[in-house]
Structure 1
Amino acid sequence: MPASLPLSRRLLTLLALVFAGTALAAPERTQVTLLATTDTHGRIYPVDYYANKPADLGLAKIATLVAQVRKESRHVLLLDCGDTIQGTPLAYFHNRKNNTPPDPMMLVMNSLGYVSMTPGNHEYNFGLGVLEKARREASFPWVSANTYRVGTDETAFQPYVVREIGGVRIGILGLTTPAIPNWENPENYAGLEFRPLVSEAKKWVPRLREGEKVDAVVIAVHCGLDEDLATGRRRPGDFDGENAALSIAREVPGVDVMFLGHSHRDIPALVVNGVLLCQAGRWADHLARVELTFSREDGGAWSVLARDARSLATGPEVAADSAVLALAAPYHAETEAWLSRAIGHCAQPLSAASGHFEDTALLDLVHRAQLEAGKADVSLAANFNPRARIPAGPVTVRDLAGIYIYENTLYVIEVTGAQLKAALEHAARYFLPYEAGKTPAQLVDPNIPGYAFDIAEGVSYEIDLRRPPGDRILNLTFQGAPLDPARKLRLATNNYRYNGGGGYTMFKGAKVLDRSSTEIRDLMIGWVERHHEIPAEPTRNWKLLY
């Protein structure tokens, strides 16, 4: 720089050179938005089919939120964490009554531009034929790295997907809860095995990092948290390895984000060992949103500079997308026609609201159908939907569908009186240890879902909440006499219980006397069609003491 230049000009020139050098050295940045749904369970229209009223949920509302995010962000990836093709009368009617058209969930998800879906345990409810048809109809891959062909190292699904967007490479690894054999009928997953989540994540994350050279690893896992963070205890009723999100975050290096599922929780953001975890609730009532900001210098490797997560609710202010409604309209119409069919009569209104605390005529209807279909001595059933109602007057398919909301099938097994008592003692753990002055509702253990509390018909008994868990069943009688622990009984239950679901391990390996491929819901519909009149008074064969 010539010394003859005035001092002020020399200073300005030096500053310009400094700023120019700084600008050249400034790191390059880009941002990617990740969106996720989970446990949508066949929800498209914003309706509650059982109650026959509007509801703030469904993919039609999710579509509106996705469109808003895409207006705000240039680089967006949308994925799903499973339990997708089962869960509503619409999904049931398609899968069981009219499976010829394309799967409605895949049809809508194709239109929304999903990049992947991790299959959940409920994808198997209708068997492999229905599963594979839906999978073929998806324009995006179903990804599950821990689902294998039995006895081989061949994955049954694509293990992961890699997408380049905004100049960065994102690897999405799919993992499915391995506890499926504890719930599902063996023929529904024939030829498949589900390997542990942590070891499979340890296997596949390095392949994404080193082999695929991704800049970020995202795991879309159909499982939840494996412990209560406040207490460190596992949720009662969980199987070993069923939920392993925390273990993956703690034990598997190289993971940036995990989208969770299975446990139906809304988790906007949780950071564990540097891994960002989030979960989008259930029934398409939330959309999980994660922003990943990347940085690099001089054209080098990208690194994650910042992560942010939030949960977007499909509240009343979110309108349903008209294009999605139009796509699903034929499925919705045939579902409504089926649900509206009158099949019986009831002299007075019935409710399941108190079904966890007293015998109800509504739950007795489930028992009647199971006992008759299975020619059984005793029936076990749970109050799956406390909001279920049967009106006085004509009774429709909708009313019965609202009572039994799962695709369970009937098993009739041989059990002893001792096994039945053990099952009832296990069910009674639904209530916490007794505290004087508290009502049964106040004693409910919040960590045990209501569908894990089985109630029996065909025997009479009392549940004494004042006694310690494991010793609460009193005066257990069968045909008017104390039940002999060695007495053999024909027990009608469902496939989930037979396979040990809900912790009912006392039935594992029990002799199967009979079983039906027909859903228990349809057995109930058939019972009402044959008998027409639904008894309006409960049998009062059990009660709580407190």
Structure 2
Amino acid sequence: MHGYLNLHQEAFFGPTGLEYRRCGGYARIATRLRELRAQHPNHLLFDGGDTFHGTRPVVATEGGILPPILNELGIAAMTAHWEFAHGPARLRELVSQLNYPLLAANIYHEDSGELAYAPTLLLETAGLRVGIIGLACPIVDKTMPAHFSTGLRFTNGVAELPGHVQRLRNEERADVIILLSHCGFPQDVALLEDCPGIDVCLSSHTHNRLYKPFEAGGALVIQSGSHGSFLGQLTLTVEAGRVVSHTHELHEISESIAPDAALQTRIDAALEPFAALNETVGTTDTGLHRLTSVECPADDFLLASLQALVPADLYFSNGWRYGAPIAPGPVLLNDLYDLVPMDPEIQTAELTGAELHEMLEKNLEGTYSQNPLHQMGGYVKRTLGLKAYFKAENPKGSRLQAVFVQGKALDPARTYSAAFITSQGVPPKFGRNRQKTGQHIVAAMRTYLAQHRPLVVQPHDTFIVV
């Protein structure tokens, strides 16, 4: 969901380019759920995570705006990723307010070695015993800001999964086993191929819109887009402990769905303190999206805003997938926060050419690793001021073919200045002389929009796949 309480823009692939229309919102999801439950009285609903982060109201309340809304949906269980943005202690508070559990078989307390959350859940529906295994996103303590994982250790689930499958089958007598995972589609496929015995994988993290299930290791894998724009429905026929047939539909939560009146009233009341976000701050002729893994107009705009404010050789942001697109037309303040809801302070640092090369290779490995379990989530790092030619299919450490900074070949011994947002833009291990500028990125984007009416974004071609 990434925190989208109401209708928002979504982008769709069309024959001549991207097409935009409004989707989503919990009140419309509630209506669709009511219709589906009337048709299928034996049902279970799951949340794959990325729920308590992604929009300004959710970030400003550290997720507190959501539990009263989520508790109206009849969710059976969830797992997590960006939920840790407010710190592990805050997430425990939020989970205690929910009427369903957070499952994670791969998160441990560093001090005791004990699991931080329940790993599994056993439910009954249609006379069947359904075992659910949760796997949270394993990158939280590896690539996310340090405060996300204070006192916790995350694994990729490889060691844990087989034991839970065997226990649920043999001791808990589960007829069906579901993996509720926020590891990512390629990662889940790799896990399933090495761990037979799972019937269904409800995959998240990589924002795939799977219009039919993918089969891996005997399991049906579905993933249902992002931002709550879609609702995945998988209907199983089970005989003698075996899934013998299935149907699947990826429902678009379209604007034409009538919102549940009571829930919409609750949402509207919760959003009243954030009415100022509806201010129009500019206009754009370019659709601003993050649907492409190598450069995107949303972050080209973000980095151009940064460049206009802070002098540097290089500019960096993280390759985030989240953030509803901004369609051509008026731009609201809310739209800017959707791109970077935490409104981070702009920072500067100095990196050598050798460090820059290492940082880029590390990012490319995390995006395109030939081992899915080594992919660290997100897209290619968003940059301005450089041009890099690379081979995505090459082994780790050998993808970059040529790199240029400000039109000149990268010099490993030279020191370059960089401006960036968040530690994901320039990880702490790289560079020196880090400084805070006192400037924040939302204000920078707002100023840039005021100076460019309408906004037109041209590709920078910073990364070229060869």
Tell me whether the two structures share a fold, i.e. TM-score over 0.5: yes
Is the 1:400–1:524 contact (alpha carbons within 8 Å) kept by the matching residues of 2?
no
The alpha-carbon deviation at position 64 of structure 1 amounts to 1.6
Supply the distance in 2 between the matched residues of 1:89 and 1:161 (Cα, whole angstroms): 32
Q: 1:177 to 1:407 in 2, by over 3 A?
A: farther
Matched, 1:513 2:452: no
Q: How does 1:388-427 map to 2 (within 5 A)?
A: 388=326, 397-398=333-334, 400-401=336-337, 404=340, 410=346, 412-420=348-356
Task: Please list every run of 5 or more consecutive structure 1 residues that lacks an aligned counterpart in the other structure.
Answer: 1-39, 227-242, 296-301, 430-446, 500-507
Supply the distance in 2 between the matched residues of 1:187 and 1:402 (Cα, whole angstroms): 22
The alpha-carbon deviation at position 89 of structure 1 amounts to 3.0
Q: Which amino acid aligns with 1:214?
A: A
The alpha-carbon deviation at position 341 of structure 1 amounts to 7.5
Supply the distance in 2 between the matched residues of 1:489 and 1:45 (Cα, whole angstroms): 43
Q: 1:483 to 1:358 in 2, by over 3 A?
A: farther
Q: Deviations over 1:235-261 (max 9, x none)?
A: xxxxxxxx2x12332222321211111
SS of 2:160's partner is: helix
Q: Deviations over 1:432-490 (max 9, x none)?
A: xxxxxxxxxxxxxxx99995252224xxx556799x9733434x349xx8875323344
Q: 1:151 to 1:207 in 2, by over 3 A?
A: farther
Task: Please list every run of 5 or more consecutive structure 2 residues that lacks an aligned counterpart in the other structure.
Answer: 12-19, 290-294, 366-374
Question: Which residue is equivalent to 1:292?
Answer: 236
Q: 1:512 to 1:56 in 2, by over 3 A?
A: same
Matched, 1:456 2:384: yes
SS of 2:429's partner is: coil
Question: Which residue is equivalent to 2:441?
Answer: 524
Larger Rg: 1
Q: 1:45 to 1:400 in 2, by over 3 A?
A: closer
Question: Which residue is equivalent to 1:109?
Answer: 70
Is the 1:176–1:222 contact (alpha carbons within 8 Å) kept by the matching residues of 2?
yes
Is the 1:364–1:539 contact (alpha carbons within 8 Å) kept by the matching residues of 2?
no
Supply the distance in 2 between the matched residues of 1:282 and 1:542 (Cα, whole angstroms): 26
Aligned counterpart in structure 2 of residue 65 of structure 1, from 11, 32, 42: 32
Supply the distance in 2 between the matched residues of 1:428 and 1:350 (Cα, whole angstroms): 31
Is the 1:364–1:538 contact (alpha carbons within 8 Å) kept by the matching residues of 2?
no
Q: 1:416 to 1:110 in 2, by over 3 A?
A: same
Question: Which residue is equivalent to 2:424?
Answer: 496
Q: 1:48 to 1:331 in 2, by over 3 A?
A: farther
Q: Deviations over 1:50-76 (max 9, x none)?
A: 9xx971222222212211122122222
Is the 2:24–2:255 contact (alpha carbons within 8 Å) kept by the matching residues of 1?
no
Over the aligned positions, Cα root-mean-square deviation in angstroms equals 4.4
Supply the distance in 2 between the matched residues of 1:397 and 1:363 (Cα, whole angstroms): 17
The alpha-carbon deviation at position 132 of structure 1 amounts to 2.5
The alpha-carbon deviation at position 390 of structure 1 amounts to 9.5
Matched, 1:311 2:249: yes
Q: Which amino acid aligns with 2:426?
A: Y
Identity of aligned residues (%): 22
Supply the distance in 2 between the matched residues of 1:418 and 1:282 (Cα, whole angstroms): 36
Is the 1:110–1:139 contact (alpha carbons within 8 Å) kept by the matching residues of 2?
yes
Aligned counterpart in structure 2 of residue 77 of structure 1, from 22, 44, 47: 44
The alpha-carbon deviation at position 331 of structure 1 amounts to 2.6
Q: 1:409 to 1:289 in 2, by over 3 A?
A: farther
Counting matched residue pairs gives: 431
Q: 1:358 to 1:390 in 2, by over 3 A?
A: closer
Q: Which amino acid aligns with 2:306?
A: V
SS of 1:171's partner is: strand
Q: How does 1:131-170 map to 2 (within 5 A)?
A: 131-170=91-130
SS of 2:71's partner is: helix
Q: How does 1:264-279 map to 2 (within 5 A)?
A: 264-267=207-210, 268-279=212-223
Supply the distance in 2 between the matched residues of 1:45 and 1:151 (Cα, whole angstroms): 40
Supply the distance in 2 between the matched residues of 1:154 and 1:509 (Cα, whole angstroms): 29
Question: Which residue is equivalent to 1:234?
Answer: none
